[in-house]
């Protein structure tokens, strides 16, 4: 592995006998990593041995979802245990009110050391953490600056390695070892534009990925789906910025997001000479071949899909290795058996399903999120957990694990009974979702909805749309057939609307006043 200044092998593997018996929490979250590309969730092409090991030795949630499928909002839901309309961070343009109650603050009160390292993306600076070392906004894949407890500092190397190095350094050298801890490791990977580490550039180049059955979706009967701007097949996926097909003089319309003066994709301009040489040696022949082959129509669309998949999977590879490195540290330092390790993402992502990349929709690929856990000693539950769970549940789970009180205003439910192997009779039978970022990049309209494990009812609303969709995921798992208007479904629609109303009342979503049910 390149770039890891602090090798786990070099660390003293002494057993941390001063640890108290309270459980520690290591919460690893990636950005835009989705279940379709994890071996443990059934992918036959994803090479993710370290993630798969967490699931094999622990538990894997098969029905884990987010409350609002986009970065900042998802993070705010996780920190507060509350839906977006309550925590106030409804879309990525907001600023998180750090004065409000969050679970790290409550853990601190309960005697925990708390730290967050990596992507933060809430615009205000972190509160409730003893230590924080965060990327600026989205951060950069190469040589990214960090804000370390208020100081902006440069780093050298690939960001997934750097975040892991910093996390191990905090665990080993910076925390108060007399206290239990909660560490949030927030990766930038696998966010757009999927820039791999130089040591993984060659990976997956020979692989031809299977094209999803609904790659050529025409969105019949689904207006909001037809209006999005996240199509791999069209210009939404940019040849230069996303797929790295640069020719001297070319400009990407997407460069506006980057500070680099260089005209190339992403953070190429941040690279040092060695990184740049490796990058050019890899991509230049591919660029040459691409422009000489003059692909058109479906051939071009499918070529774009393959390049997207290859770059994404290379970026996952670093992530998986770094999760392995962190797990090895926890094991060697004697912390593992007393630590709950969680691996999740801020939301799922489209890997060509419906022809898309990105997220935002309440459709399964982006509404769902990977959620696997390695349980501490004494928690014997293993294998699949099928209950409907949501990212608002993490806060109460962590509080209960720490033996702290769960405040009444937290809307999520502790997952602890599930981790203990119980089958709670009154577990929730439906989830609520609300997405707000419109107008916005990718043009996904505002929508809210309910999912009960079989039926999904969604209402897209706004100035140019007022559309309902109903899917029966038992017969239509890819959500291609909107059956809302079929007369035989009138009863189901009525019932689902009444349950949706119950959720909006329970979660106190003011949207109910605007669109009464």
Kindly state the smallest distance separating residue 308's Cβ from Ca ion, in Å. 16
193 binds, among ligand SGN, Ca ion, none (CB under 5 to 8 A by kind): ligand SGN
For residue 509, the cross-strand partners are none
CA gap 315, 161 in Å, rounded: 11
32 touches Ca ion (CB under 5 A): yes
441 binds, among ligand SGN, Ca ion, none (CB under 5 to 8 A by kind): ligand SGN
Task: Single out the residue of 83, 108, 191, 282 in contact with ligand SGN (rule: CB under 6 A).
Answer: 191
Number of amino acids touching ligand SGN (CB under 6 A): 15
Helices 297-332 and 49-57: angle between axes, nearest 10 degrees: 60
187 binds, among Ca ion, ligand SGN, none (CB under 5 to 8 A by kind): none
CA gap 467, 469 in Å, rounded: 7
Name the residue nearer to ligand SGN (CB basis): 47 or 441: 441
52 touches ligand SGN (CB under 6 A): no
Sole residue written with tokens 């200044």: 5
Name the residue nearer to ligand SGN (CB basis): 90 or 113: 90
Kindly state the smallest distance separating residue 438's Cβ from ligand SGN, in Å. 12
Number of amino acids touching Ca ion (CB under 5 A): 4
Q: Enumerate residues 318-347 that contact Ca ion by CB under 5 A.
A: 346
Q: What is the DSSP string of 375-430?
A: PPTT----EEE-S-EEGGGHHHHHHHHTT----TT--S---HHHHTT---TT--S-
71 touches Ca ion (CB under 5 A): yes
Kindly state the smallest distance separating residue 357's Cβ from ligand SGN, in Å. 8
Question: In this structure, what are the phi and psi dihedrals at residue 132, rounded to the nearest 5 degrees?
Answer: -145, 140
365 touches Ca ion (CB under 5 A): no
Quick note: the x/- pattern for Ca ion over 422-441, rule CB under 5 A, is --------------------
Would you give the distance in Å from CA 170 to the centre of its chain? Answer: 23
Q: What share of residues in the chain are helix, strand, coil (percent, to 5)?
A: 35, 15, 50
Alpha carbon distances (Å) from 142 to 3, 119, 132: 10, 14, 20
CA gap 60, 222 in Å, rounded: 32
Quick note: the x/- pattern for ligand SGN over 455-494, rule CB under 6 A, is ----------------------------------------
Kindly state the smallest distance separating residue 120's Cβ from Ca ion, in Å. 12
Grouping H, G, I as helix, E, B as strand and the rest as coil, residue 356 is: strand
Task: Single out the residue of 19, 130, 140, 358 in contact with ligand SGN (rule: CB under 6 A).
Answer: 358
Task: Single out the residue of 31, 302, 387, 479 in contact with ligand SGN (rule: CB under 6 A).
Answer: 31
31 touches Ca ion (CB under 5 A): yes
Kindly state the smallest distance separating residue 93's Cβ from ligand SGN, in Å. 11
Query: What residues contact 459, with CB distance under 8 A and at least 6 apart?
Result: 447, 448, 449, 467, 468, 515
Closest by CA position to 391, among listed 372, 371, 407? 371
Q: Enumerate residues 320-339 that contact ligand SGN by CB under 6 A.
A: none
What does the CA dihedral 411, 416, 419, 421 come to, rounded to 10 degrees? -110
Name the residue nearer to ligand SGN (CB basis): 125 or 254: 254
Name the residue nearer to ligand SGN (CB basis): 32 or 52: 32
Span interacting with Ca ion, options 29-37, 98-106, 383-391, 411-419, rule CB under 5 A: 29-37
Task: Single out the residue of 37, 70, 171, 401 in contact with ligand SGN (rule: CB under 6 A).
Answer: 70
CA gap 397, 288 in Å, rounded: 52
If you ran DSSP here, which 8-state letter would residue 18 be given?
T
In terms of phi and psi (left: phi > 0; alpha: psi -120 to 50; beta: otherwise), the region of 354 is left
CA gap 288, 280 in Å, rounded: 11
Span interacting with ligand SGN, options 185-193, 333-341, 393-401, 403-411, rule CB under 6 A: 185-193
Query: What residues contact 193, with CB distance under 8 A and at least 6 apart?
Result: 241, 242, 244, 254, 265, 266, 311
By beta carbon distance, the residue nearest ligand SGN is 71
441 touches ligand SGN (CB under 6 A): yes
Which residues contact ligand SGN by CB under 6 A? 31-32, 70-71, 92, 121, 138, 191-193, 254, 257, 358, 441-442
List residues near Ca ion by CB under 5 A.
Answer: 31-32, 71, 346
């Amino acid at each position: 592995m390149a770039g890891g200044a602090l090798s786990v092998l070099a660390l003293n593997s002494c057993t941390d006998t001063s640890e108290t018996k309270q459980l520690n929490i290591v919460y690893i979250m990636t950005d835009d990593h989705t279940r379709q590309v994890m071996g443990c969730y059934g992918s036959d092409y994803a090479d993710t041995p370290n993630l798969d090991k967490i699931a094999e030795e622990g538990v894997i949630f098969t029905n884990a979802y987010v409350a609002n499928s986009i970065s900042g909002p998802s993070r705010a839901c996780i920190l507060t245990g509350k839906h977006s309309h309550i925590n106030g961070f409804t879309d990525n343009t907001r600023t998180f009110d750090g004065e409000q109650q969050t679970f790290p603050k409550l853990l601190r009160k309960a005697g925990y050391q708390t730290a967050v390292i990596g992507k933060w993306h809430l615009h205000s600076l972190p509160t409730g953490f003893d230590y924080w070392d965060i990327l600026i906004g989205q951060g950069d894949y190469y040589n990214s600056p960090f804000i370390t407890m208020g100081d902006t500092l440069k780093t050298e190397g690939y960001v997934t390695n750097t975040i892991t190095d910093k996390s191990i350094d905090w665990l080993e050298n910076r925390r108060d070892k007399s206290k239990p801890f909660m560490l949030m490791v927030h990766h930038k990977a696998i966010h757009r534009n999927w820039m791999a580490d130089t040591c993984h550039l060659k990976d997956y180049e020979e692989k031809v990925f299977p094209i999803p059955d609904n790659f050529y979706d025409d969105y019949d009967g689904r207006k909001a789906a037809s209006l999005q701007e996240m199509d791999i097949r069209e210009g939404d996926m940019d040849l230069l910025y996303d797929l790295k097909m640069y020719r001297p003089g070319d400009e990407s319309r997407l460069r506006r997001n980057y500070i680099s003066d260089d005209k190339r994709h992403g953070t190429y301009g941040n690279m040092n000479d060695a990184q740049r040489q490796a990058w050019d040696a890899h991509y230049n022949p591919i660029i040459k071949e691409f422009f000489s082959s003059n692909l058109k129509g479906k051939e071009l669309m499918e070529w774009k899909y393959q390049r997207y998949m290859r770059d994404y999977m290379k970026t996952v590879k670093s992530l998986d290795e770094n999760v392995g490195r962190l797990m090895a540290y926890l094991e060697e330092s004697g912390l593992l058996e007393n630590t709950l390790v969680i691996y999740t993402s801020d939301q799922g992502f489209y890997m060509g399903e419906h022809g898309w990349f990105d997220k935002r929709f309440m459709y399964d690929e982006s509404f769902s999120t990977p959620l696997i856990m390695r349980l501490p000693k004494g928690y014997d539950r293993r294998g699949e957990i099928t209950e409907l769970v949501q990212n608002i549940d993490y806060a109460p789970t962590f509080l209960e694990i720490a033996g702290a009180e769960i405040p009444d205003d937290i809307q999520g439910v502790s997952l602890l009974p599930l981790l203990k192997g119980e089958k709670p009779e009154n577990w929730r039978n439906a989830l609520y979702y609300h997405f707000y970022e419109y107008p916005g990049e990718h043009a996904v309209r505002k929508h809210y909805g309910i999912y009960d494990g079989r039926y999904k009812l969604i209402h897209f609303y706004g100035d140019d749309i007022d559309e309902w969709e109903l899917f029966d995921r038992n017969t239509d798992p890819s959500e291609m057939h909107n059956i809302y208007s079929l007369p035989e479904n009138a009863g189901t629609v009525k019932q689902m609307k009444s349950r949706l109303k119950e959720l909006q009342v329970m979660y106190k979503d003011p949207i109910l006043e605007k669109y009464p049910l």
